Amino acid sequence: MNEGALNRLELPAIRSLVAERTAFAPGRELAEALLPTTDLREAEQLQEETAAARNLLRASPSSGLRGARDVRDAVRRAKLGGALDPVQLIAVADTVRAAERLFADVHPYPPLAARARFARPPVDVAVAIENAIGATGEVLDRASGRLGSLRANLRAAQARLQQRLDALVHSPDLLRVLQDPIVTQRGGRYVVPVKAEHRAAVKGIVHDQSASGQTVFIEPLEILEANNTLREAELAERLEVERVLDELSRRIEKSGEDLDAMTAALAALDLILAKALYADSLQATRPELNADGVLDLVDARHPLLVEQGAVVGIDVRLGGEFRVLVVTGPNTGGKTVTLKTIGLLTAMAACGLAIPADRGRVPVVRRIFADIGDEQSIAQSLSTFSSHLRNVVATLAEAERGDLALLDEVGAGTDPDEGAALAMAVLETLLERGVLAAATTHYPELKAFALNTPGVRNASMEFDSNTLRPTFRLRLGLPGASNAFAIAERLGLDRSVLGRADTHLSELHRSLERTLLEAERQRTELGSALEEARVSAADAAEATVEARREADRVRDEAQRALRRARAEADELLLQARRALRQAEEARDRAAKRNLV
């Protein structure tokens, strides 16, 4: 990919926004180095991963790299034979546990689980570290069988020394020669502060003296052996702690490859989760990718404008019936933003990022070329025209079928006739090569070129003639007027100056502008008529639905009445049969009585 073009499209700003949502350094580095892929299958896989991560975060919002640290330096040090300190060891254990949790969370999501397929977090290393190192970084007594007994010996030696010291500083003979009745340390040895003039009264070893020289710090001979015993216990304890740390470091060394693979998998998943979080913040949708060179975006928004607040979405198509799009319209109307939106959303889709659009088909292209913005430079003797032309030359030198070229104000900055001719030649060349291209312009010749050239289509940024302001909506099919006079009038340019300017317009320009204004008026009227027709159709559909509802209600009522009538008839028939049967029984009884 052309890094310069990606910079002009502001992809680095998107990388930064994704990087802000990563959880640890390796993932952040991947985000900051994010590049579009040129392979359709790989792009689809990246999109699958982002979609799966969004599903995971919806189902389990707490999923992520909780507790993971950047342990690459620690693992590298262990591989070189170095010993790690307790803080580094805890970081390794915490990262292994974070990987264990995250890998379990992603297991039900195949695109994410594939990223962790070859990663085996060394849980045994984490268990060993957790058994030996406390949460605050201290080496625990249980780290080894010997360490516990050594620390017991150390505590006993400290207690014996403390008893000797307490007795010593409170003895009447020593109390009178002490500067203060306290015990302090010098060079790791316990000493007492003795007045300098009484230094000979205390037998022992002088370790230090105060800055004023009035106090000397002496280790009395009475505690010399106890001090030696304490130092020996401290040394033995320190050596055992170092042995424990070295042993744990060697375990990390042996598991170095597993830890490297685990860290790489965590970084990849961290990036994918960051993409999902960014997609949710944009309310973005997954694009439908293709290798056919077809772009079709509905309500597409520039992501950096979404970050700033309200933004007008655009509907834009490129590819299929036409491969070159010429965008015209007023200054500050959104032409450049349209180009950037096309290019940036194409790059984002190939990075596996969801795009801020209601829906979209996006091509996976080989390269993106972009001449957007003014790169004039006094130091390099580049004018506006020269800076644009340099990018155009680079585009024509390399662009082929499967590439996307975006040219802002193509041919501008020089004689209008020559600039328009040059712009048409550039677009013809790109069209012949099969390059997808979108260009902005104010040249009427390019508008006519787009109308008369198969494979080229006009589009315009809508301008509200009532408010004299752009609406920032893109309209395909018709070129747009530049509306320079209307904008100048809105900004306060004197009408007499505008009148003079009007007299200098060529008849061709007047005719074309009148045609464009009439086309815009007809389009507006047609849009209003279509909206009225849509409303009428909706009303008719609603009336039809209501009529159907009424017919259904009447039919249901008739069916219920019929069922009631049948039930009543059945009841009358049943009563008649009952009465007939009773009459027959009464007749039979009367006949029997007559016989008797």
Domain ranges of the chain: 3-122+255-282, 143-245, 290-501
Instruction: Please state, in angstroms and rounded to a whole number, the distance separating the CA atoms of residues 392 and 136.
Output: 61
**What's 143-245's CATH class?**
mainly alpha
**What's 3-122+255-282's CATH class?**
mainly alpha
- 64 near 30, Cβ under 8 Å? no
Which residues on neighbouring strands pair with residue 377, listed in sequence order? Answer: 382
Instruction: Please state, in angstroms and rounded to a whole number, the distance separating the CA atoms of residues 319 and 554.
Output: 54
For residue 26, the model assigns a pLDDT of 95
Instruction: Please state, in angstroms and rounded to a whole number, the distance separating the CA atoms of residues 69 and 82.
Output: 19
Contacts of 424 (CB under 8 A, 6+ apart): 445, 446, 449
In the sheet that holds 189-195, the strands lie side by side as 184-186, 189-195, 215-220, 204-209
- The letter for the amino acid at 456 is V
Instruction: Please state, in angstroms and rounded to a whole number, the distance separating the CA atoms of residues 264 and 266.
Output: 5
For residue 382, the model assigns a pLDDT of 47
Q: Are strands 324-328 and 456-464 parallel, antiparallel or unpaired?
A: parallel
Would you state the structure tokens that stand for residue 555, as one six-digit string? 């039919």
Among candidate residues 67, 3, 8, the one with its CA nearest the CA of residue 34: 3
Segments of the chain scoring below 50 in pLDDT: 376-382
| pTM listed for this prediction | 0.75
- 26 near 259, Cβ under 8 Å? no
Instruction: Please state, in angstroms and rounded to a whole number, the distance separating the CA atoms of residues 257 and 119.
Output: 9
Instruction: Please state, in angstroms and rounded to a whole number, the distance separating the CA atoms of residues 425 and 431.
Output: 10
- 302 near 340, Cβ under 8 Å? yes
Q: Write phi, then psi, for 2 (nearest 5 degrees).
A: -80, 105
Instruction: Please state, in angstroms and rounded to a whole number, the distance separating the CA atoms of residues 482 and 569.
Output: 83
Instruction: Please state, in angstroms and rounded to a whole number, the distance separating the CA atoms of residues 532 and 257.
Output: 68
143-245 and 290-501 have identical folds: no
Q: Are strands 189-195 and 359-363 parallel, antiparallel or unpaired?
A: unpaired
For residue 268, the model assigns a pLDDT of 96
Three-class secondary structure of residue 486 per DSSP: helix
For residue 149, the model assigns a pLDDT of 83
Q: The domain at 290-501 falls in which architecture?
A: 3-Layer(aba) Sandwich (3.40)
Which residues on neighbouring strands pair with residue 208, listed in sequence order? Answer: 217
Outline where 133-182 has alpha helix (H).
Answer: 145-169, 172-175
Q: Return the H-helix or E-strand segment holding 54.
A: helix 40-59
